[in-house]
């Protein structure tokens, strides 16, 4: 390990961004992790103070700071509520990269990120094998939500009720597509995203169906990869860059007006993170693509003639909507998904309390800190149940996984859907 002096020099890159925090502490009112633990090191102000501390060399060892820095959902609630406008997520991602570079990735993360995620083809194959064998280890537990749990005690699964891998991932069903613009005169590129491809192919099918219905052309390149956020949040900048290169290669060649995704986290990563963390060689290309990137709901409402479908069709259902942090707080997208739900006939929208409070998923945070993640998620589940709705809609597959787990464990009979699925279903009828 290099000296703390060298680390302090690296941290100084962040100095101008770190001094913006005036320690007012307002982040305490919105941080879902702090709400559970009440510890200052778990809230943005505390973490920013720790990073300043590294810069000022007040610690003998960076391990404690590294641990606390990783105990964060990267939900961005603090940044959205920050009076001084501190770029919290950008600072945390850069700091994770610096500290990981300094301390090295854990062997498990090295295997998953560098060994699997960085090679999209290999990753796809491994997941397909997983999908074949998952039934041996798991059993269905809630038919309405579609969750399963472990057949026997498992240290990995614990008491989770999880959504299983799709038997056939989306890219096997629809490997690629290139259709010209129809009556809308618009053509979009579709970035599928890992979770939609491997767990929720129905969301991708729904996206295609709705775009077709509206006469929007589609460019869906083959062999898509991950947006890179799992690598980046683990501080693995090289893998992030490799995945970014992979995506740029696939999308740069296509002709389209917008890039859309149905995953809040992918959209926010492409839109907000790519331009800031791409290397110099790819920054311009990443920025150009980012500027054209939109959430699917946002695209439908702003760019197409989306009208409520006829009232006659559609099953009557009451829907409540959860705001994914990466849509509402990162991209200020919250009216559009609601408009999409209202456009689906028969869907009655009813609001839950604190619809924009984080669900507690946070990617690998859920694996590392399941107790806290579950504490946050169960609060969300209770607020969903209180609405009496029979459908929970949300614009992010990661939130869908977490909320499915929580609702299933709470014994609820509430289906978990993406707004685009509700709209596509109405087209069927």
Partner 1 sequence: MIADSLVRQFKTIVGDDNAWTDATDLHTYSYDAAVVDPVQPGLIARPTTIEALGKTVRLCNDNNLPLTVRGAGTNLSGGTVPLPGGVVIVTNGMKSILEINEADMYAVVQPGVVTAKLAAAVEAKGLFYPPDPGSQAVSTIGGNVAENAGGLRGLKYGVTRDYVMGMSFFDVEGNLVKSGSRTVKCATGYNLTGLMVGSEGTLGVFAEIILKLIPLPAHRKAMMAVFESLERASETVAAIIADRIVPATLEFLDNFTIRAVEDFSKAGLPKDAAAMLLIELDGHAAQVEEDAARVEALCRTMGATSVRVAQDAAERDRVWAARRAALSALAQLKPTLVLEDATVPRSRLPEMVVAIQRIAKRYDLTIGTFGHAGDGNLHPTILTDKRNHAEWERVEKAIDDIFDDALKMGGTLSGEHGTGLAKCRYLEKETSAGTILFSSRLKRALDPKNILNPGKIIAAKAYL
| Sites of contact with partner 1 (CB under 8 A) | 16, 19-20, 22-26, 28-29, 38-41, 45-46, 49-50, 53, 58-60, 64-65, 67-68, 83-85
Cβ closest to partner 1, residue 89 vs residue 142: 89
To partner 1, the closest distance from the beta carbon of 302 in angstroms equals 20
Q: What is the largest CA-CA distance in the chain?
A: 70
Residues 6+ apart with CB under 8 A from 149: 138, 139, 141, 157, 159, 160, 161, 162
To partner 1, the closest distance from the beta carbon of 58 in angstroms equals 7
Cβ closest to partner 1, residue 51 vs residue 294: 51
Cβ closest to partner 1, residue 46 vs residue 314: 46
**Nearest CA-CA partner of 204 in 260, 148, 138, 124:** 260
Cβ closest to partner 1, residue 64 vs residue 140: 64
Counting every residue, how long is the chain?
Answer: 429
Burial 308-336 (b: 16+ CB within 10 A, else e): ebeeeebeebebbbbbbbbbbbbbebbeb
Cβ closest to partner 1, residue 53 vs residue 363: 53
Cβ closest to partner 1, residue 11 vs residue 412: 11
**Nearest CA-CA partner of 228 in 191, 188, 175:** 191
To partner 1, the closest distance from the beta carbon of 30 in angstroms equals 8
**Distance between CA 395 and CA 397 in Å, rounded?**
7
To partner 1, the closest distance from the beta carbon of 131 in angstroms equals 40
Please name every residue paired with 217 in a beta bridge, in sequence order, or none if there are none: 187
To partner 1, the closest distance from the beta carbon of 69 in angstroms equals 10
Cβ closest to partner 1, residue 23 vs residue 315: 23
- Output the six-digit token pair for 106: 């854990």
**Nearest CA-CA partner of 316 in 395, 429, 418:** 429
Measured CA distances, 119 to 74, 77, 244, 246 (Å): 25, 32, 12, 9
Is 162 within 8 Å of 149 (Cβ atoms)?
A: yes
- Output the six-digit token pair for 303: 């760019």
Residue 390, helix vs strand vs coil: coil
To partner 1, the closest distance from the beta carbon of 364 in angstroms equals 21
The DSSP letter of residue 270 is I
**Distance between CA 423 and CA 309 in Å, rounded?**
9
To partner 1, the closest distance from the beta carbon of 340 in angstroms equals 24
To partner 1, the closest distance from the beta carbon of 21 in angstroms equals 9
Cβ closest to partner 1, residue 39 vs residue 139: 39
To partner 1, the closest distance from the beta carbon of 133 in angstroms equals 39
Cβ closest to partner 1, residue 45 vs residue 171: 45
Is 428 within 8 Å of 165 (Cβ atoms)?
A: no
């Amino acid at each position: 390990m290099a000296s703390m002096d060298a680390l302090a020099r690296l941290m100084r890159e962040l100095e101008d961004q770190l001094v913006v925090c005036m320690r007012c502490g307002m982040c305490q009112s919105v941080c879902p992790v702090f709400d559970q633990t009440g510890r200052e090191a778990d809230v943005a102000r505390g973490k920013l103070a720790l990073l300043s501390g590294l810069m000022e060399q007040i610690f003998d060892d960076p391990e404690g700071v590294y641990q606390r820095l990783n105990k964060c959902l990267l939900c961005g609630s603090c940044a959205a509520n920050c009076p001084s406008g501190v770029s919290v997520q950008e600072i945390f991602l850069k700091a994770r990269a610096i500290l990981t570079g300094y301390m090295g990735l854990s062997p498990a993360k090295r295997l998953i990120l560098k060994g699997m995620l960085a090679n999209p083809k290999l990753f796809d194959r491994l997941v397909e094998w997983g999908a074949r064998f998952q039934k041996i280890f798991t059993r269905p537990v809630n038919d309405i939500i579609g969750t399963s749990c472990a057949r026997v005690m498992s240290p990995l699964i614990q008491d989770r009720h999880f959504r299983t891998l799709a038997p056939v991932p989306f890219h096997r069903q629809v490997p690629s597509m290139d259709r010209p613009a129809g009556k809308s005169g618009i053509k979009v590129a579709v970035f599928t995203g890992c979770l939609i491809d491997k767990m929720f192919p129905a969301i991708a099918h729904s996206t295609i169906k709705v775009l077709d219905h509206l006469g929007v052309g589609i460019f869906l390149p083959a062999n898509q990869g991950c947006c890179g956020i799992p690598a980046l949040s683990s501080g693995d900048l090289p893998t992030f860059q490799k995945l970014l290169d992979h995506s740029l290669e696939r999308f740069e060649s296509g002709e389209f007006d917008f890039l859309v995704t149905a995953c809040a986290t992918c959209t926010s990563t492409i839109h907000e993170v790519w331009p800031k963390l791409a290397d110099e060689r790819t920054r311009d290309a990443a920025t150009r693509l980012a500027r054209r990137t939109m959430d699917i709901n946002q695209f439908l409402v702003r760019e197409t003639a989306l009208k409520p479908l006829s009232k006659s069709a559609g099953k009557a259902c009451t829907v409540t909507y959860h705001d994914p942090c990466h849509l509402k707080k990162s991209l200020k997208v919250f009216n559009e998904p609601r408009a999409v739900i209202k456009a689906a006939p028969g869907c009655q929208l009813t609001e839950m309390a604190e619809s924009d409070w984080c669900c507690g998923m946070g990617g690998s945070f859920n694996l590392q800190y399941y107790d806290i993640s579950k504490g946050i998620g169960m609060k969300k589940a209770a607020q969903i149940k209180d609405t009496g709705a029979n459908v929970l809609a949300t614009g992010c597959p990661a939130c869908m996984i977490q909320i499915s787990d929580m609702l299933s464990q709470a014994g609820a009979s509430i289906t978990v859907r993406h707004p685009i699925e509700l709209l596509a279903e109405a087209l069927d009828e």
